[in-house]
Structure 1
Amino acid sequence: MSLQYTSSHIWNELLGSFIKLASPHIGKSPLSYHRHQDLWDRRFVAHFGLTVHSAVDVWQIVENFFKKYRLLKIHYLWALHYLKVYPTEAVAAAKFNTSESNWRDKVYHSITCFGFMDEIHFEDRFEQWSCTQPSCYVDGVDMMVSEARPLDKDLFSHKFKRAGYRYQVAVALGTSKIVYVGGGVPCGKWPDLKLVRQTLLKHIEPHEKVAADQGYVGDP
């Protein structure tokens, strides 16, 4: 469903724009969207983590933040792809036909823009989902930053083998919505388990549990 404050005409224009932008990256023609919408949605979700309709809705929320950083719709898709697929710089830069440094810069600032959203609600983890064990899925996301001089071991990311900052992102299991973002801390100083204990786990109910990968072994 499109946001109420945006006219259907503008929303449909945005939908068409994102269909054209995403088309070469998911291997589907823009003209095939209305004939094969289910397949289109599956491809879009596989690459960007949400349907193209949801991508339009989220864009409407973050658009002004992106404009402030002089970011475009394609950079928004780069960031969604990064959060979904977690590619290396070389792979992502080749996929989107850009330089590694440009991709890294645009994705970093795009995710900063996501952090300005006030429409992220932790209670949305129970939308179309009634289970409390698990109630949502959490994962750590590292963002590369410029190396400090002299080198600072507190910034070291084992995922990238270089400096980075770490975030915790929780996703609803019933809707795939982002329901929590926390962190923005030096990777080397904040392993995933320590960070989730200081952020997300402080907000869940006593009987509640979250799903995570093996990097979070240590909490029941």
Structure 2
Amino acid sequence: MVSSDMFWNIGHKITGHDLKGSLGMGYRKFRAFFGTSPQVCVIFWDRLSTRRPTNSTPEHLLWGLMLLKQYNIESVNATLVGVTNKTFRKWSMIFIRLLANLSVLDWEKRFENAPRGTSTFVSLDGTDFRIMEPSAFDPKWYSHKFHGPGLRYEIGICILTGHIVWAHGGLPCGEWPDLRLARDAFIHRLQPDEKVVADKGYQDQHYFENPGGDQRKKRILARHETVNGRIKQFCCMKDRFRHALFLHPCFFHSVVNLTQLMIENGEPMFAIDT
């Protein structure tokens, strides 16, 4: 049976940390290489039990996490783990796809422990990610947030729990402003009269409540930025995406699923009502 100690030992063969050395330094190194804790690695490994190849090992999961977290060029990662580029590419991508396809987010959990009478359960925000400039320039890719080409996604967070309950997108930033993206799928999942807290980019009072001078709503959106920041701690989401564009949603959903499992397991978001 795979344990957190097993991931700890395997991970530090890659990081080069002396297992007899500082425990705190060991955790920092593990996090710097793989983006999460050995405990969350075990959770992922167990949840993938019926999906992962029978000849896969915990080390292969760590390779996928290392690609998400560090996003080094392939030859660097392959050298770090002592395999060929082809072997590293094969197993890291297998596990990134498996992570992306896990059912981690639960839209219905936005109602969990919600007070009676409320009709606002979720905050929504769009976030942009850098991509390589397409060979033929097209303004549809332009993001005003970093003045370059990018893909836009939206993330929905339960106001009460701080859990991620929605993630959608992967569309050209210039062609898909926040409101258009929300109208593509998100609003069709809302109940009648359900409202959503969002910033001024969502100008549709039928569905969205902008904060104005409401300090609680401002705090809700500030927490949302914290979640966006956690996602961009993974260099594949912070740096310019070098892989084929069709793979970006796969990397994105892997990171979102990982971020949500971390929120559920020892790294919660700050509460809005304290």
| Superposed CA offset, 1:66-90 (max 9, x none) | x9898443455x4xxxxxxxxxxxx
Judge conservation of contact 1:183–1:199 (CA < 8 Å) in 2. Answer: no
Q: CA deviation at 1:56?
A: 5.8
Compared with structure 1, are the counterparts of its residues 163 and 74 closer, same or farther at alpha carbon in structure 2 (3 Å cutoff)?
A: same
Contact 2:110–2:121 (CA under 8 A) maintained in structure 1: yes
- For residues 99-132 of structure 1, what are the alpha-carbon distances to aligned partners after superposition, in whole Å with 9 as ceiling and x for unaligned? 8xx9xxxxxx898766423332210112233464
Residue 135 of structure 1 is aligned with which of 121, 141, 150? 121
- 5+ long unaligned stretches in structure 1: 1-8, 22-28, 34-43, 79-95, 103-108
- Cα 1:184/1:14, change in 2 over 3 Å: farther
Determine whether 1:157 maps to 2:143: yes
Alpha-carbon contact 1:14-1:56 (below 8 Å) kept: no
Q: What RMSD, in angstroms, separates the aligned Cα atoms of the two structures?
A: 4.6
Task: Name the CA distance, whole Å, in 1 between partners of 2:182 and 2:189.
Answer: 10
CA distance in 2, matches of 1:98, 1:203: 38
Instruction: State the distance in 1 between where 2:38 and 2:62 align.
Output: 22
Tell me the TM-score normalized by structure 2: 0.46
- TM-score, normalization by structure 1: 0.55
Q: Is the 8 A contact 1:169 1:178 kept in 2?
A: yes
Match of 2:196 in 1: 210
Number of equivalences: 171
Q: 1:57-136 counterparts in 2 under 5 A?
A: 57=43, 61=47, 71-76=63-68, 78=69, 115-130=100-115, 132-136=118-122
Paired-residue identity, % = 26
2:242 corresponding residue in structure 1: none
1: CA distance, partners of 2:122 / 2:105? 14
Q: Which has the higher contact order (CA 8 A, sep 6+)?
A: 2
Structure (1 or 2) with the larger CA radius of gyration: 2
Match of 2:258 in 1: none
